Amino acid sequence: MQHITVQHITEHRLMSDTDNQIVDPSRRSILKGLAMGSVAALSATINPTTIRPVYASSQAAPQPPRSLSLRNIHTLEELEVTYWENGKYIDDAVLQLSHHMRDHRENETLLMDPALLDTLWKVREKVDPTMRFDVISGYRTPKTNAMLRQRSSSVAKFSYHMVGKAVDISTHQAPISALRDAGLAVRRGGVGYYPKSRFIHLDSGPVRSW
């Protein structure tokens, strides 16, 4: 079996533009005099004993581990696992979560998008950090998606479920509207609300709702 690893790299590039100002040579002496006068005035008013050095923090505040608690309503399997800790995803935990959200009809597993796992975690943190999600649908093979699409017009032909970027969830520990509100608040992808069927859809695609 090929070993699957998870890499989640975020790059931040800081770019700055220099503000080039053209100064008229005839004004240089005036500006120089003003600058020297300002320094002299500041020197006369600042007491050196009151100055304290300011140090910028060299390290970001530590982030808490990210954990999920799931129950698959079809297989009745339960899973509670920490999938992110010390700044990185835990490969084995992500694989466990992916297997838990497999296509139970075809018994096929696809690596679930870590961004989707983070969305689930954020929703859980907002509603109840101890909450367990009931997984209704995670990964779907093309065959399963086509079958479900014949049964319901709400199933998309090119569903995010088919690429491991969507999950349908419910819970008995909070109103379904609370899950929807939390999903909308985190603004990390699509949020579908199905109150009559008591579940919401979350995906890691563009931000949108229905």
Sheet with 78-85, strands from edge to edge, namely: 88-89, 78-85, 66-72, 133-137, 166-170, 199-203, 190-194, 208-209
For residue 30, name the pLDDT band (cuts at 50, 70, 90).
Answer: very low
pLDDT tens string 154-193: 888 889 999 999 999 999 999 999 999 999 999 999 999 9
Position 27: which residue type? R
Task: Determine the Cα–Cα distance for residues 96 and 161; give it in Å rounded to an integer.
Answer: 17
Q: Are 152 and 140 in contact (CB under 8 A)?
A: no
Does the model's pTM come out above 0.75? no
Is domain 66-209 annotated with CATH 3.30.1380?
Answer: yes
For the chain, domain boundaries: 66-209
pLDDT tens string 65-99: 999 999 999 999 999 999 999 999 999 999 999 99
For residue 62, name the pLDDT band (cuts at 50, 70, 90).
Answer: confident
* Mean pLDDT computed over every residue of the chain: 81
pLDDT for position 59: 64
Token pair belonging to 191: 């949020």
Runs of H (alpha helix) within 46-137: 91-100, 114-127
Q: Are 179 and 123 in contact (CB under 8 A)?
A: yes
Question: Pick from 58, 61, 63: which is nearest to 8 by CA?
Answer: 63
**What does the angle CA 119 – CA 121 – CA 124 come to, to the nearest 5 degrees?**
110
